[in-house]
Structure 1
Amino acid sequence: MNTIQSNIDNLTALWQQASRPFNGCFGSAAFNYCHVEHSGWPNRLWFNQDITPELIKTAAAAIDDKSSAFTLPYWDIYNSGSFQILDTLGYQQKSEQIGMSLKLEQPFLQRPGLDYRRVTDDAAAQLWSDIFGQAFGYLISPEILMRTGNGIEYYLAYYQDQPAGTAMLYTTGDIAGIHAVGVIPGMRRKGIADDMMVFILNRAIALGASYATLQASAMGKGLYLKLGFKEEFRIKNYIFKV
């Protein structure tokens, strides 16, 4: 299995799933973009092939009427150095992630201590949005959760009856994409992220997934390596604004 492509496909399918109820999916053979008003996510534009200056200009023209900035993930899989085109054109790189995957086999040992609750109502969706914002510093609209909760699993983790973190699970075929795993600042250094990952991985196994994929920050990479994930490719995230 090409886990690199499966990782990218799961991620882009998630963005499309999240924006589809808002009629926010657009695209062509060369690129796609997703946009939801009043939300910091997904709001992504991505290319389905290696980039050229002409292709970037075409994509920029396509979002010319959008007021908010998009994030442009550059998949560093072409061995062409074409990300330098974005640098030359003046687009600012805001972050970098590591695409990782794990073959799922035996369930993981789950430690007691956390309570996990799937988001199923408006109040929980608002709370998830608030906790996510504290953990990551930007907004996912609670309306997205309520309109996509059948296809995307959103979870809140509670520590001593207090909401502590968020997680998101999205499956495509036998790929389980793990997203939005975050812990609020006041609850960090308690092993909560580790336990959340074990819960989500076991949930993925229960759903019949063969592989788990995710996109890690440099800070989170160590946790995922400890669980057995392997590094496979880099994602350079650019601010893409006309």
Structure 2
Amino acid sequence: MDLKQQNIDNLTSLWHLINRNAGTAVTGNVFDYGIINYSDWPNRLWFKNAPEQTNLNLAKKIISSSTTKITVPYWEINGNDYSPLLENNGFMKILEQVGMSADISKSDFIPSEVTINKVRDERTALLWESLFQKAFKYKIDHKLLLSSYDEVDYLIAYDNATPTGTALMHYSGNEVVGIHSMGIIPEMRRKGYAEKMMHSMLFEAAKKGYGYATLQASEMGKNLYLKLGFEEQFLMRNYTLSK
């Protein structure tokens, strides 16, 4: 199994799903995108094939005409490094992440005492939105959760009755689960909740028969995932167009 490609496919299929349910999905031969003006996410334009200048000109036109901030993620496509082309066309790197994966079928994850509940109604969707915004300083609108919670697991972690953080689990195919949007709210950090959440989520995924987990880690979070058995696969840079 090509886990790098599975990682990327899990991520982009999540963006597709959210955009499709919001009626904003646009697909093309070289790139896909979606713009949701009431949410800070996904709002991505991503290349499926390494772009040429004409493709990039069209992408720049779409981005420039939008009042919503659009992020362009980068990873090498078939060994083609097109990051210089992006940078020469006015794209600025805003965030760097590491694509990581783990074989969870060979690990013994133990569910922790942290309770993890799924979003199932407007009240919990609003709570998830609020907690996520506190953790990450940007907004995923609760309406996107309400339109997709039958297909995506939006999770809220609790210590007794106190919410501690959020996560999102997106299952693609029969073998891969992607862990996304995992964040602990500021006042509950440095208490081990992130590791406890990961143990519980990976335990549930393995119990369902999924063999692999993928994610995209920040530099700050990478060591936790290495500790849990994840391996680095690829570098992912996120760009915006300077206007």
Same fold (TM over 0.5): yes
Structure 1 length-normalised TM: 0.95
Distance 1:137 1:111 in 2: 27
The TM-score, its normalising length taken from structure 2, stands at: 0.94
Corresponding residue for 1:226? 227
SS at the partner of 2:147? helix
Task: Give the partner amino acid of 1:18.
Answer: I
Give the match for residue 181 of structure 1.
182
Instruction: State the Cα distance separating 1:92 from its structure 2 match.
Output: 1.1
- 1:69·1:241 contact (CA, 8 Å) conserved in 2? no
Q: Distance in 2 between matches of 1:229 and 1:240?
A: 32
Aligned to 1:110: 111
Tell me which residue corresponds to 2:165. Answer: 165
Q: 1:209 to 1:126 in 2, by over 3 A?
A: same
- Matched with 1:132 is 132
CA gap of 1:171–1:240, structure 2 versus 1, over 3 A, is: farther
> What CA deviation, in whole Å up to 9, does each residue of 1:182-205 have, x standing for no partner?
001110000000011111111211
Q: How many residue pairs end up in the alignment?
A: 241
Query: What is the CA deviation profile of residues 49-96 of structure 1, one whole-angstrom value per residue up to 9, with x for unaligned ones?
Result: 123322211222344542212110001354443201111112111000
- In the alignment, the residues of structure 2 paired with residue 219 and residue 194 of structure 1 have an alpha-carbon distance, to the nearest angstrom, of 13
1:31 is matched with 31
Asked if residue 42 in structure 1 is aligned to residue 42 in structure 2, the reply is: yes
Q: Compared with structure 1, are the counterparts of its residues 10 and 241 closer, same or farther at alpha carbon in structure 2 (3 Å cutoff)?
A: farther
Report matched runs for 1:1-242 at 5 Å.
1-105=1-105, 106-112=107-113, 114-173=114-173, 174-240=175-241
Deviation, structure 1 residue 4: 0.5
Matches of 2:199 and 2:35, distance apart in 1: 31
Amino acid at match of 1:216: A
How far is 1:207 from its partner? 2.4
3-state SS of paired residue (1:42): coil
Q: Give the gaps of 5 or more residues in structure 1.
A: none
Amino acid at match of 2:181: A
> CA RMSD, aligned part only?
1.5
Asked if 2 retains the 8 angstrom alpha-carbon contact of 1:107 and 1:205, the reply is no
Any conservation in 1 of the 2:30–2:47 contact (CA below 8 Å)? yes
Q: Deviations 1:130-167 (Å, cap 9, x if unpaired)? A: 00001011000000011100000001001242111001
Cα distance in 1, alignment partners of residues 17 and 242 from structure 2: 23
* Gapped regions of structure 2 (runs ≥ 5): none
**Greater than 6 Å deviation, 4+ residue runs:** none
| 1:241 CA drift (Å) | 6.5
Identical aligned residues as a percent: 39
Q: Does the Cα contact within 8 Å between 1:156 and 1:166 map onto a contact in 2? A: yes
The answer on whether the counterparts of 1:29 and 1:48 sit within 8 Å (CA) in structure 2 is: yes
Q: Distance in 1 between matches of 2:51 and 2:28?
A: 14
* Most deviating of 78-87 and 46-55: 78-87
C-alpha distance in structure 2 between counterparts of 1:62 and 1:234, whole Å: 25
